Amino acid sequence: MKTIDDYNFKNKQALIRVDFNVPLDDDLQVTDPERIEAAKPTIIKILEDGGSVVLMSHLGRPKGRESKYSLQHIVKKLSEIIGVKVQFVEDCIGAEVEEAAGELEPGHILLLENLRFYDEETAGDEEFAKKLSKLGDIYVNDAFGTAHRAHASTTVVAKFFEEKCYGYLMAKEIKSLDKVLHSEEKPVTAILGGAKVSSKITVIENILDKIDHLIIGGGMTYTFIKAQGGNIGNSLVEEDKQKLALEILKKAKDKGVEVHLPVDSVIADSFSEQASTQTESVDNIPDGWMGLDIGPQTVENFSRIIKESKMILWNGPLGVFEMDTFAKGTIEIGKAVAAATKNGSFSLVGGGDSVAAVKKFGFKDKVSYVSTGGGAMLEMLEGKSLPGIEAINN
């Protein structure tokens, strides 16, 4: 796996695909600079080698040129974080851009305008990619969050470079996932939450050969419970996925994987913070009530398994953590993962909602690694080949 450590960038210009798709407030100020901070080590390494950097990214989903999606809005924050004044050019291809890139001195940074101002970016247009390729000597992909997209800047552009490699962030993401999925250390535990079995089915099927324990929580619990004859009241269920749930349980058993389902639920009489709540056996939920979090006995059972695990993969919350009333299960599982990590286990958290949960409840620095790419990580877990990774490896 070629990374930027395999190159000396002295007097070289790196064209780096970063993921600066950061949230902006109404005043167009960056509200969460985490993605910019994640790219900093790669940028700094190249500058310290004596190279220059051209950065390209998308921001949001603009329809043509929309000023609110201009990357100009992040220049100030980017300059602060890197500690170098960043130059900005109001386009990403063309004569003006090529001139600005051509005049860039070692130690300097140029940020291009939003790639998605051009439809050719998402279309993976070869001519557009060729124009981008004129802006650097070495292509560096450090945007794991877009690695599953075969876009011009993430994939196609690589074919125009003899020298291409991963940035630190991209390499770290791949290594972390690889560490869990091909671990010699046992037991390996996957915690899968979220609403639907259908969104996790390919993940489950792909990881069954690689894990010892599968913990299932969140809304998809109730499809499994109903499939086994339990009463789930008004809980979320995918009626057409019950047969599939039973097949998953059988496959897991055949492969020697222990599946752990909740035994009790915190239930509510409405989907609301103000709902009446009680704790009930997961397979005996009365009509008119719905399961919105795991119960105390389940927390105890799951925590014990997690603390005994050497490798932990966590994707998806265990309850409706956005509401304080139903956040306890996710918080307690976060504590168990943090405790296992403190005792030497490796823990990887990924997927939008689980990442949001570990940040919200203060576990981000207490787990081994938090993935920056929800969709990309899921596709890797599904065993799919990611175009952004293939483009560097080929």
pLDDT (tens place) for every residue of the chain, 394 residues total? 899 999 999 999 999 999 999 999 999 999 999 899 999 999 999 999 999 999 999 999 999 999 999 999 999 999 999 999 999 999 999 999 999 999 999 999 999 999 999 999 999 999 999 999 999 999 999 999 889 999 999 999 999 999 999 999 999 999 998 888 888 899 999 999 988 888 888 889 889 999 999 999 999 999 999 999 999 999 999 999 999 999 999 999 999 999 999 999 999 999 999 999 999 999 999 999 999 999 999 999 999 999 999 999 999 999 999 999 999 999 999 999 999 999 999 999 987 688 889 999 999 999 999 987 777 888 888 888 889 999 998 8
Report d(CA 335, CA 167) in Å as an integer. 31
Please give the mean pLDDT across all residues of the chain: 94
Domain with CATH 3.40.50.1260 in the chain: 4-169, 183-381
Contact predicate 125/100, CB 8 Å: no
| Tokens, residue 266 | 């915190």
Report d(CA 311, CA 5) in Å as an integer. 27
295 belongs to the catalytic site: no
Catalytic residue (choose from 130, 352, 360, 364): 352
Q: What is the DSSP letter of 353?
A: H
Contact predicate 176/369, CB 8 Å: yes
> How confident is the model at residue 367, as a pLDDT?
96
> How confident is the model at residue 379, as a pLDDT?
86
| Tokens, residue 61 | 């989903």
> How confident is the model at residue 352, as a pLDDT?
65
Catalytic residue (choose from 196, 307, 359, 360): 196
218 belongs to the catalytic site: no
Token pair 């089915």 in the structure block, residue: 201
Overall size of the chain counted in residues:
394
Residue 350 exposed, middle or buried by CB count within 10 Å (0-12, 13-18, 19+): buried
- Classified as helix, coil or strand, 220 is helix
45 belongs to the catalytic site: no
The answer to whether domain 183-381 has CATH 3.40.50.1260 is yes
366 belongs to the catalytic site: no
The pTM assigned to this predicted structure is 0.88
Tell me which amino acid residue 36 is.
Answer: I
> How confident is the model at residue 145, as a pLDDT?
85
Superfamily of structural domain 4-169: Phosphoglycerate kinase, N-terminal domain (3.40.50.1260)
Contact predicate 225/232, CB 8 Å: yes
| Tokens, residue 104 | 């860039």
* φ/ψ of residue 156, rounded to 5: -65, -40
Q: How many helices (H) and strands (E) does the chain have?
A: 14, 17
| Tokens, residue 46 | 């190249």
> How confident is the model at residue 378, as a pLDDT?
82
> How confident is the model at residue 3, as a pLDDT?
94
Token pair 């919105």 in the structure block, residue: 292
